[in-house]
Amino acid sequence: MRPLHYAAWQGKAEPMKMLLKSGSSVNGQSDEGQIPLHLSAQHGHYDVSEMLLQHQSNPCIVDNAGKTPLDLACEFGRVGVSNSQAFTTSSAFTLQLCWCQMDFGALASRASRSPFHSPG
């Protein structure tokens, strides 16, 4: 596991800052196809996810299972991460959302609900 991936997985903000300053790639993929943002989002590390997005991490990158970081945040119930303003204001995320809307529900679950619908 790469150092930036480890820091994202563990939610270690200070080491993350040092690694980012030293030029670690925010979009470098693991053998599973995951970028650090996949790991921070899946494990609910809001501050680390925000930091990665501020450093131009691409929230549209899919892993080998075909999942984006937002997919994992929603799948694992990480509401704080999935509702993050950094996710929703990211230009890459906006592009992804537009494509999904054009595809008539690519994010929709079997119940025809997406992560952007309120429960109930």
Looking only at Cα atoms, what is the longest distance across the chain?
46
**3-10 and 46-54 are packed helices; what angle lies between their axes, rounded to 10 degrees?**
140
Express each pLDDT in 33-72 by its tens digit: 999 999 999 999 999 998 998 898 988 899 999 999 988 8
Q: Supply the pLDDT for residue 26.
A: 96
- Note the pLDDT tens digit of each residue in 69-103: 988 888 888 877 756 666 666 555 554 554 444 44
Assigned fold of 3-90: 1.25.40
> Structure tokens of 113?
């609900």
Write the DSSP assignment of 91-114 as a string of letters: HHHHHHHHHHHHTT-TT--TTS--
Query: pTM to 2 decimals?
Result: 0.73
